[in-house]
Amino acid sequence: MKENIFDVLMYLFENYMEDEVDMLPDSDVIKSELEEAGFNSGEVNKAFDWLESLSWQRAITTTVPNSFRIFSVEEKSKLDVECCGFIMFLEHSGILSSANREIVIDRAMALENEEISIDKLKWIVLMVLLSQPDEEIAFSRMEDLIYDLVPVYLN
């Protein structure tokens, strides 16, 4: 099986994170289940590190309400024009705050050796919003975008 960190994250999101987060089984149990499902233990550990880093970023607050973002050369090499534009769209439409925008970019950059498509970026945004307190409305709006429940121009 040729899975990568993103595949493990998607599996975790679909099977554990979308439900009640407080009711998650022990991480060792989940790791064992992932390995039994065929995921490489190295990729499983990297995915857990990715999620742990995401949880550390909960306390980020923004002091500049209308910030302007210029993507670095490294970010532009990882996130194509469509991805960068989508991030800006989400911020301008109120789904992402500037602080959450930075977390999304950080988590996308943390996916080593991974090409970030617009579809992968949408899931990264959803995982970030799920991890942040008081982002239920933004999470719901993003979920609607992912599942094409609402046309993009109506958001």
The pLDDT value recorded for residue 120 is 93
pLDDT tens string 80-128: 999 999 999 999 999 999 889 999 999 999 998 888 999 999 999 999 9
CA distance 110 to 104: 10
The phi, psi pair for 116, rounded to 5°, reads: -100, 110
Whether the CB-CB separation of 10 and 34 falls below 8 Å is answered with no
Q: How far is CA 43 from CA 9, 46, 142, in A?
A: 10, 5, 26
pLDDT tens string 15-56: 776 554 444 567 788 888 888 888 888 888 888 888 888 777
Burial class (CB in 10 A: 0-12, 13-18, 19+), 65: exposed
What residues does each domain of the chain span?
1-59, 62-155
Q: Per residue, what are the HEC states of 20-51?
A: CHHHCCCHHHHHHHHHHCCCCHHHHHHHHHHH
Inform me whether the pLDDT recorded for 5 exceeds 80.
Answer: yes
The pLDDT value recorded for residue 23 is 44
Residue 62 or 68, more confident = 68
The pLDDT value recorded for residue 1 is 45
The pLDDT value recorded for residue 16 is 75
CB atoms within 10 A of CB 24: 13
- Which residues share a beta bridge with 7? none
What pTM was computed for the model? 0.78
Residue 114 or 57, more confident = 114
